[in-house]
Amino acid sequence: MREYILALPTDYDQSKPYRLIFGWHPWGGSAQQVASGGYYGLQTQAKGTAIFVSAEGLDFGGNGLGWGNSNGQDIALLNAMLDRFRSQLCIDENRIFSVGFSFGGMFSFAAGCSSKSMMRAIAPMAGNTTVAGCENGTRPVAIMGFHGTDDDVVAIDGGRKGRDVFAQRNGCTTETVPSQPTWCDVAGDKYQPCSCVSYQGCKDGYPVTWCEYKGKHMQAPNSGATVWNFFAQF
């Protein structure tokens, strides 16, 4: 048995298709942690236009709940939730999203790699494709990824490799252009701009945006507004 928290808009209308957004917790975290944090700040930004879900991971290495996805069990959970929601809720099949930090970022990558899970876009923060895996495939998925340049828990090279998987699937070239900067509170009392780039030549509707910022293993600053603006374009 697996558990999850489901948050419907206060004025939920069964006849209206809603975006569906999954928020995945970090290692040692919980579904309640994500829900209490407003699903990485996206719930407030959505203003009642999305359904949010946070699921509970399984013990990983005796050090707390995570998303090891052993034998595909966490992807199976994701697909089981999707089957239930499709039968019981009014969701927009073309607007299913995934966001998470650390182990949650890793599983956001895994969810995007899954052809059955049908993600429209993902926003992994400080993740990689090493632990939770990445199913081989060609299905394009829009991505906005974030990683701290000084991350000493999940090396930034792993995040970049995950980014490159989707850049290839989305048909992008290696050429990049600066993207509109996201302002990040990386020093507590002052703001510095992230370095964000957008890849060129991607399939129409499947952008790849990558942001790096001066920081260690941390959630992307201002993630709520930034990720929501990315998801909302779809």
pLDDT in tens, 108-149: 999 999 999 999 999 999 999 999 999 999 999 999 999 999
Range of the domain at 178: 4-232
Q: Is the confidence at residue 62, as pLDDT, over 60? A: yes
pLDDT at 220: 85
Q: Is the confidence at residue 101, as pLDDT, over 60? A: yes
Q: What is the pTM of this model?
A: 0.95
CB-count exposure of residue 59 (10 Å: 0-12, 13-18, 19+)? exposed
Per-residue confidence band for 63, with pLDDT thresholds at 50, 70 and 90? confident
Above pLDDT 90, what percent of the chain? 86
- The alpha carbon of 70 is separated from its chain's Cα centroid by a whole number of angstroms, namely 20
Quote the number of domains for the chain.
1
DSSP-derived secondary structure letter, 221? T
- The alpha carbon of 66 is separated from its chain's Cα centroid by a whole number of angstroms, namely 15
Q: Is the confidence at residue 172, as pLDDT, over 50? A: yes
**Residue 41 Ramachandran class (φ > 0 left, ψ -120 to 50 alpha, else beta):** left
pLDDT in tens, 187-225: 554 556 678 999 999 999 999 999 998 889 998 878 899
**Contact, 67 vs 98, CB < 8 A?**
no
Q: Is the confidence at residue 69, as pLDDT, over 70? A: yes
Q: What is the CATH number of the domain that holds 190?
A: 3.40.50.1820
pLDDT at 38: 97
Q: For residue 115, what are the CA distances in angstroms to 83, 142, 190?
A: 14, 13, 41
- The residue assigned the tokens 């209206």 is 16
Across 35-56, b (16+ Cβ under 10 Å) vs e yields bebbbbbbbebbeeebbbbbbb
Q: What is the mean pLDDT of the chain?
A: 94
